[in-house]
Amino acid sequence: MSLSSAAKVAGIDEVVDGGFCSGCGACAALSQRSMNVNLFGEYSPGTASSDGMEDCVCPFLVPEENENMLANRFLVGRRSRTDELGYFDAVYAAHVEEGSFRAEGSSGGIGSWLAVELLRKGLIDAVIHVKPARRNRERDPFFKYGVSTTAEEIRSGAHSHYHAVEISQVMQHVRDVAGRYLFVGVPCFAKAVRRLQLHDEMFATRIRFVASLICGHMKSINWSLSLGWSAGLPPAEIKEITFRVKREGIPAKSYYYGVKGGADDAETRVFDSAEAVGGKFNLGAMMLNACNYCDDVVGETADISIGDAWLPKYSFDWRGKNLLVLRNTVLSELIGAAVAEGRVALEPMLPEDAATAQAGGLRQRREGLAYRIGKKRVTGEWHPVKRDYVDASQLKFHRRLIYDLREKCSRESRAAFQLALDKKDFSVYTRRMKVMFKVLRLVEVIFSSPQIIARRIQRITESWK
């Protein structure tokens, strides 16, 4: 049975009411809707009369304009295709040799370097990307989309930002200010921008390149607050947060974060996210529910996808290594020229190795997605229409259990932390969630032991080479 067979025609309101909205803001870019932060630290569009046009840009509606269709429409370098990566020209492991880009980024530094290089070469006038935001209130966002026109501004947005954002205001800037733009975002945002380009020639003309960040899932603003609170800073006292602090001695695969605030807000204090309740990223604490209904991990509609090369030979190099999926000949030539000049280092990567590097996310978004949609069919609830991948009817018990526990942890953590904020008591969250997260992790470890052992053996044998 098709994943789309139980779905019915719906609009933005059904997406929002059903909990499927990623808060991207594409609908608000075409309508009178406003984008608001709700109590759970997530962006959501307000109500407004609609002529139906805004439905066309929502990444969870109009299934015929899916990732495959958009890739065929927009990508000029797409010689090959796999289900995991979509269309692509070439796949690489990479890092920047030039300057301090690698040191400043959370991985190999390619994202910021590419944006600066496009600007330096005169191929774009500005970059649309996520940057730190000024906070005035306890629940204000730490990051927002902005427009950068200089190398210094671009580099201010370096690093990973696991944080809810929206694009309606920067899309209005694109409408108001003529120019050539690079857009950088997670896969569902890249898809929304492609939809804007598909239905509005102005966006198609002005947004020259789209870069996607390979995505595990989106986190709410409240998840950032929970990390700060775990570090001893109540939400009202947190000034800044940095995800993926990079230091010698900290493996690339480890997630350490830095916070500023309190009486000594000039100093960044660094903590291991695995020690915070819900801090381990793949536990799914305060994950947007929309991420449970997304099947694009790598950003299949983008000209280039940039992520971490999570393979054993790279995972412990504290300097970081990027995974690149190239789909645009202009960008391929640009990077190739920099390699010839010794400014960027590339290693060809097999598509299957790239898929292995993102195996966990792909299981969650393909096998897990099919299972979750199957449950929606049983209850007769509306759900987004997705592409077909796997038949989840024969899914083993332990996989169903893991997917159910992850979904429950995301849902319960969302409510528990909001209650903790209301009561100004962090223990409300930790008491309710600590055991639940431990149970999920225990189940994952028990049923993943053979794979864990195999990966450790692989790391040991690779170290002998």
DSSP string, 167-234: -HHHHHHHHHS-S-EEEEE-HHHHHHHHHHHHH-HHHHHHEEEEEEE--S--B-HHHHHHHHHHTT--
Instruction: Give the pLDDT score at 296.
Output: 97
Asked if residue 8 is part of any domain, the answer here is: no
Helices (H), 278-328: 312-315
Q: Are residues 338 and 420 in the same domain?
A: no
**Residues 349 and 452 grouped into a single domain:** no
Q: Are residues 441 and 304 in the same domain?
A: no
Which stretches of 260-344 are DSSP H helices?
Answer: 312-315, 329-340
294 plus 367 within the same structural domain: no
- What tokens were used for 300? 């299949």
Mean pLDDT by groups of 10 residues along the chain of 465 residues? 46 92 95 92 84 86 96 90 95 96 91 97 98 89 97 92 96 97 98 97 98 96 97 94 87 86 85 95 95 96 94 84 96 97 96 93 94 94 89 89 96 97 97 96 84 54 49
Where in the sequence is the domain holding 167, given as residue range(s)?
13-220+288-358
CA 37 from chain centre, in angstroms, equals: 18
For residues 311 and 450, state if they share a domain.
Answer: no
Copy the structure tokens of residue 312: 């054993």
Q: 129: part of which helix (H) or strand (E)? A: strand 126-132
CA neighbours closer than 13 Å in the CB half-sphere of residue 166: 26
Specify the residue for token string 């792909």. 362
Q: Domain count for the chain, please give it.
A: 2
Q: Give domain status of residue 26, yes or no.
A: yes
Using the 3D structure, point to which of 340, 358, 376 is the last residue of a domain.
358
d(CA 10, CA 4): 13
Question: Are 440 and 409 a contacting pair, CB within 8 Å?
Answer: yes
Whether 162 and 37 map to the same domain: the answer is yes
**Res 2: pLDDT:** 36
- The bridge status of strand 126-132 relative to strand 344-348 is unpaired
Task: Answer yes or no: do 338 and 448 share one domain.
Answer: no
Q: Is residue 240 part of a domain?
A: no
pLDDT for position 458 = 55
Rounded CA separation 260/270 (Å): 9
Query: Does 397 fall in a domain?
Result: yes
* C-alpha closest to that of 377 among 393, 360, 354, 397: 393
Q: Which residues make Cβ contacts (< 8 Å) with residue 366, sequence separation at least 6?
A: 83, 295, 389, 390
Residues 334 and 367 in one domain: no
Dist. CA 463–CA 457, nearest whole Å: 10
Hunting for tokens 């053979």 — which residue is that?
450
Last residue of a domain, one of 315, 335, 358: 358
81 has which bridge partners?
87
**CA nearest to 222, candidates 38, 405, 404:** 38
Task: Identify the CA nearest to 139 among candidates 243, 228, 61.
Answer: 228
Given 358, 390, 413, which residue is the final one in a domain? 358
Task: Tell whether 66 and 191 lie within a shared domain.
Answer: yes
Same domain, 30 and 157: yes
Q: Has residue 226 been placed in a domain?
A: no
Structural domain contains residue 235 = no
Q: Are residues 126 and 201 in the same domain?
A: yes
Say whether both 74 and 100 belong to one domain: yes
204: Cβ–Cβ under 8 A, 6 or more apart, which residues?
Answer: 197, 198
Q: What is the pLDDT of residue 129?
A: 98
E strand or H helix at 115, and its extent?
helix 110-120
Letter for the amino acid at 297? V
Q: Which residues on adjacent β-strands are paired with residue 286?
A: none
Establish if 259 belongs to a structural domain: no
Residue 203 lies in a domain: yes
DSSP conformational letter for 308? E
